[in-house]
């Protein structure tokens, strides 16, 4: 009986910590608005203002997180990305901010071709 109580407590703790780390779509949307990301990536994040800017709506969440972390890191010999605008935008973002942004963008309908 004691084992069951301990197991239940551990599982409850894991569930609470997972929800605490869950992405917040509302916060992700607010960050995109705060940093005016639509000015380059389009109002729907699916119609960039220039063809060189990527479509973000519907993009894979893990790819978006990786890209934002790389922009934040910059080019320091650690697989960083070097784009002056994106580096300035990503620099102040926390890991949770990046997670929220990636989750929100992933949740949007997009026109990316995932399979042919």
Q: What is the mean predicted confidence (pLDDT) over 62-72? A: 94
> Contact at 8 Å (CB) between 97 and 31?
yes
The model carries a pTM of 0.76
Tell me the domains of the chain and their CATH numbers: 24-107 (1.10.760.10)
For residue 28, what pLDDT band results from cuts at 50, 70 and 90?
very high
Q: Is the dihedral of CA 22, 25, 29, 34 positive or negative?
A: negative
pLDDT value at 46 more than 50? yes
Split at pLDDT 50, 70, 90, the class of 44 is: very high
pLDDT band at 17 (very low <50, low <70, confident <90, very high): very low
The better pLDDT of the pair 112, 100 is held by 100
37/96 Cα distance (integer angstroms): 18
């Amino acid at each position: 009986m004691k084992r069951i109580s301990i197991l239940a407590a551990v599982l409850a703790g894991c569930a609470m910590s997972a929800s605490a780390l869950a992405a917040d779509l509302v916060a992700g949307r607010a960050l995109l608005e705060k940093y005016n990301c639509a000015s380059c990536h389009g109002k729907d994040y699916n119609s960039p203002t220039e063809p060189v800017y990527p479509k973000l709506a519907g993009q894979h969440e893990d790819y978006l997180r990786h890209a934002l972390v790389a922009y934040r890191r910059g080019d320091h010999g650690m697989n960083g990305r070097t784009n002056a605008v994106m580096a300035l935008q990503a620099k102040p973002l926390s890991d949770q901010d990046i997670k929220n942004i990636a989750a929100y963008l992933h949740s949007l309908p997009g026109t990316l071709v995932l399979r042919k």
